[in-house]
Structure 1
């Protein structure tokens, strides 16, 4: 047995644990998941523009309520233009879609969550239907190494502070 494996064995790390870690790290990050999901290409571009890629590649865990490309098409062009010129405001809007914990859809109930920017988010559940603020989760539980992504049908706008 080589020294590294011996040290791991002494620390109680087994081959099963190591294979579980390898499988977990083989999963893409949230940022990579957004970039590789065709219906989230607009969000992936905006995450890069806002300088949030490193954060969403980070340890997490995060839950991202990810507006689809169709959701962004519904936002007035002037609003999108304004966000494109104001990286701080864009980051605030995108941070409003992120919760700093892993929250599978089955765990979402009627209540409140706190977004990454500290704002409250209202969640509702009616049978299989889950909403966050006024956005419907249209595709749930896209797993990532550092969290979970739920596609939503609307862009959430944070409250003004």
Structure 2
């Protein structure tokens, strides 16, 4: 067998193994890997990397992340977003404002009026017309379970008070 065929067969077998592992591992992915795999949180993942919070959000947890999707970040003017990403302390402040310690499923969120974030301030939670809002941001998807918590998707980035 030619070396090129051997390499091709090895790569094919490796990709099959990776696909099988990814399929079996899907329910066990952590918050960061789940966000990456979703494909709609690229800005959030980039911000988490810039703030050096990847290891934290890959940690044991559990965490509840109210995760703004890419459309939510697109609402922020580019210059403001670039300035935020360039300021690690401010970025960390904003990102940790989207995280609550513990695993809080949607059925529990609807019974809350607020939740303390790991940043230290409270998020205001309101249920109106069957929709849940966190500091005015609409929750557009819920209960994305991960190995170390849960993700609820927001349509807007929420900002802590200074």
TM-score, scaled relative to structure 1: 0.81
Is residue 146 from structure 1 mapped to residue 144 from structure 2 by the alignment? no
Gap regions ≥5 residues in structure 2: 1-23
What is the alpha-carbon distance in structure 2 between the residues aligned to residue 127 and residue 27 of structure 1?
34
**Partner of 1:83: helix, strand, or coil?**
helix
Kept in 2, the 8 Å contact 1:105–1:130? The answer is no
CA RMSD, 1 decimal: 1.8
Bigger drift between 126-135 and 78-87 goes to 126-135
Shift of 1:47: 0.7
1:90-101 equivalence runs, <5 A: 90-101=91-102
What is the alpha-carbon distance in structure 2 between the residues aligned to residue 28 and residue 55 of structure 1?
14
**Partner of 1:39: helix, strand, or coil?**
coil
Query: Deviation digits for residues 55-113 of structure 1, max 9, x if unmatched?
Result: 00001010000001000000012211211211111111000000011011111124111
Kept in 1, the 8 Å contact 2:27–2:146? The answer is no
Shift of 1:42: 1.1
Q: Which residue is 1:56 aligned to?
A: 57
Kept in 2, the 8 Å contact 1:95–1:115? The answer is yes
1:57-136 equivalence runs, <5 A: 57-108=58-109, 109-126=111-128, 128-136=130-138
Bigger drift between 107-116 and 139-148 goes to 107-116
Gap regions ≥5 residues in structure 1: 1-22
What is the alpha-carbon distance in structure 2 between the residues aligned to residue 99 and residue 33 of structure 1?
17
How many aligned positions are there? 138
Q: Which residue is 1:12 aligned to?
A: none
TM-score, scaled relative to structure 2: 0.80
